[in-house]
Chains A and B, each alone.
Chain A
Amino acid sequence: MLIFLNHLINGISLGSVYAIIALGYTMVYGIAKMLNFAHGDVIMVGAYICFFSVSSFQLPPAVGVLLAVIACTALGIVIERLAYKPLRQATSLAVLITAIGVSYFLQNGAQLLWTSNIKMFPSFFSSEPIALFGGELKITIAAIVTVLACVVIMLGLTWFTGQTKMGKAMRACSEDKGAAQLMGINVNATISMTFAIGSALAAIAGVLFCSVYPTLTPTTGSMPGIKAFTAAVFGGIGSIPGALLGGVLLGIIEIFAGAYISTQMSNAIVFAVLIVVLLVRPTGLLGKQIREKV
């Protein structure tokens, strides 16, 4: 039983990291209707900025996180302006390929700037885990902070898109860009804003991800990025609570498959579950069923 609980905790901890990245994916997809494959690499940039501000400039961790958020927000806006905005009228395939290009650009840029040598991310939280059941069960502080941050961000985003004026503009753009423009919404500014928020989330995700899994290299963001994208699809891409649910479920399935079936098969099982879910519910667990009007 304790072993089961232990695996469950590990699963939730891994899943909430996926979820926090998936929130950024789903946010951008839901509003701009594009898959920002460079999202994972923005995470890496955020983690590097935090790493250097804390370890090289001896700034307190909170300032490091803030700097990472500011830098990533700026980076997100710049990427959107230079790479995606000129393609606003292009096919979605062209935008997708551009996003992959941006992803490679960021990875190789990071390698030029910071070399490919791995860096161990400093631990911001007490390394002493919380022990339950007489030390049989251990939960790290970083994992708890990640889960909490994930829930807070999810609630914050739900409130933002549901209640604020900007959020309403975003939803309008998501439903029909043309009609939104006719209603006086500045579509370009709204999409830029979406990227800014998505990238700020990426910075936070980067810091949390590296606090839990502390090796940092220029390719750190790519695999979690893909897993998080899977999580977003699993939960229903475009749906904010769906990203959280999808991420956490993906983490739990991955850990349980590894623990109870085989570590060799765990990724195969994760994706098999994804295929089954998509066969039964093509829009994902919490995705909206949209009827095409003919």
Chain B
Amino acid sequence: MKKFLALVLALVMTLALAACGGGDGQKDGSGAAIKIGGVGPLTGGAAIYGNAAKGGAEIAAEEINALGGLQIDLRYEDDAHDPEKSVNAYNSLKDWGMQVFLGSVTSGPGAATAAESNGDHMFYLTPSASSTDVIGGVANPLTGSVDIPRRDNVFQMCFVDPDQGAYSAQYISDNSLGSKIAVIYKNDDIYSTGIYNSFAAKAAELGLNIVSTTTFTTDSQTDFSVQISDAKNNGADLVYLPTYYEANALILTQANASGYTPKYFGVDGMDGILSVTGFDTSLAEGVMLLTPFSADAEDQRTKSFVSKYVEKYGDTPNQFAADAYDCVYAIYEALKDEDVSSATSASDMCDLLMGKFTSGSFTFTGLTGENMTWDASGAVSKYPKGMYIQNGAYVGMD
């Protein structure tokens, strides 16, 4: 009797759920909001990047929805910067009915979700997972072999790591910024090692004199005395830091405490160092970096984005927020004149967007670049902008 009752209850509940599902479907059909999902570290050590991307994407979605026309239903899931959780989060977004995927925010998880989404034929445009392992099909500059085949559904809004490394080496060489160069990179992070590899390859080609190469990992990201004294004892006058600003803030502080004051050259991960609460910005004076976005830019669009972001989240947006904002807009621009609705399947959506992005005629202007185009490689035609820090603000180098 009990079993029978349980069976009946289960049946009733299933029917009730099915009814709910049907009701939702109808509502969405009339609203015609397309479902865009994103995954990023909203908690854990890398949460600053995920929350920034989520914030930027939300502002873009609100603006677009306020325009009328094509509506966007945006949902972000947390992956705590863990590849496995990222795939789980991607799957739960698929259950929700996601039609376009904003990818993972960080590179390690990004490579995992890219592989997964490739099998599903789900369009994937990541704001900031800049490793070539995400798009695939790029040869390792040190070995020359293609380790991961090209995933044709995956595109990036940020510039790829090798571009940054090669560009840095070129820039340092062209402007003779350092006669002896030290490199400190994070060797358990594909972002940092990716940039380092292309930097090292280009530096060898250009004949740059690298006197000290030291590494650290997430586990040893507190004490940099060994790395700093190695650079100092080898007489390096320029320190290249292809790392994120959390580590950079510590490196600058500890180097200063030990009386070592070289020039510093960072990549886009250096962006954010000025907004660290309590950081002595005078230490960063003269630091050079590559970034696609500067919150201090004077154009109307950046100003409006920055003020909305500050109002909503109480913080200055970084490049992750700007890249995610651009991602949502790029998808919107590609879809706004097309016949798409919440009923379009993710696979059809993917064909449509892939066609647009690789057509060569689709250009996009956003906060992080003008007239950006994509090709079949998945990389964006956007080049790093050189900036340096003067009186606590970014100034363009050229």
The answer to whether B278 touches A259 (Cβ under 8 A) is no
Q: Which of A70-78, A183-191, A211-219 contacts B (4 or more CB under 8 A)?
A: A211-219
The answer to whether A118 touches B277 (Cβ under 8 A) is yes
A53 to chain B, nearest CB (A): 13
Residues of B within 8 A of A131 (CB): 259
The answer to whether B249 touches A129 (Cβ under 8 A) is no
Does B276 lie at the interface of the complex (its beta carbon under 8 Å from any beta carbon of A)? yes
A234 to chain B, nearest CB (A): 17
Does A61 lie at the interface of the complex (its beta carbon under 8 Å from any beta carbon of B)? no
Residues of B within 8 A of A10 (CB): 223, 225-226, 229
The answer to whether A122 touches B226 (Cβ under 8 A) is no
The answer to whether B45 touches A259 (Cβ under 8 A) is no
Contact of A129 among B47, B51, B219, B257 (CB under 8 A): B257
Query: With A120-B280, A223-B219, A259-B226 given, is the CB distance from A217 to B246 under 8 Å?
Result: yes
Query: With A3-B229, A55-B278 given, is the CB distance from A263 to B214 under 8 Å?
Result: yes
B275 to chain A, nearest CB (A): 8
B273 to chain A, nearest CB (A): 10
- Total chain B interface residues with beta-carbon distance under 8 A: 40
Q: A10-B225, A115-B47 are in contact. List 5 more A-B contacts (CB 8 A).
A: A3-B233, A13-B225, A120-B249, A223-B219, A259-B226
Residues of B within 8 A of A267 (CB): 217, 219-220
With the chains together, A258 CA to B216 CA distance in Å? 10
B25 to chain A, nearest CB (A): 35
Residues of B within 8 A of A140 (CB): 257-258
Which 8 residue pairs of A and B lie closest in terms of their CB atoms, listed nearest first?
Answer: A116-B47, A120-B278, A258-B226, A10-B225, A120-B279, A119-B277, A263-B214, A213-B222
With the chains together, A266 CA to B253 CA distance in Å? 22
Which residue from chain A places its CB closest to the CB of B187 in the assembled complex?
A: A264
Binary per-residue interface labels of chain B (204-247) against chain A in the complex, 1 for a CB within 8 Å, 0 otherwise: 00000000001111111111011101100100000000000010
Q: Count chain B CB atoms within 10 A of each CB in A13, A117, A127 and give the residue with the most.
A: A117
Binary per-residue interface labels of chain A (243-256) against chain B in the complex, 1 for a CB within 8 Å, 0 otherwise: 00000000000110
Task: List CB contacts (< 8 Å) of A185-212 with chain B.
Answer: none
Which residue from chain A places its CB closest to the CB of B221 in the assembled complex?
A: A223
Residues of B within 8 A of A127 (CB): 256-257
Does B44 lie at the interface of the complex (its beta carbon under 8 Å from any beta carbon of A)? yes
With the chains together, A259 CA to B224 CA distance in Å? 11
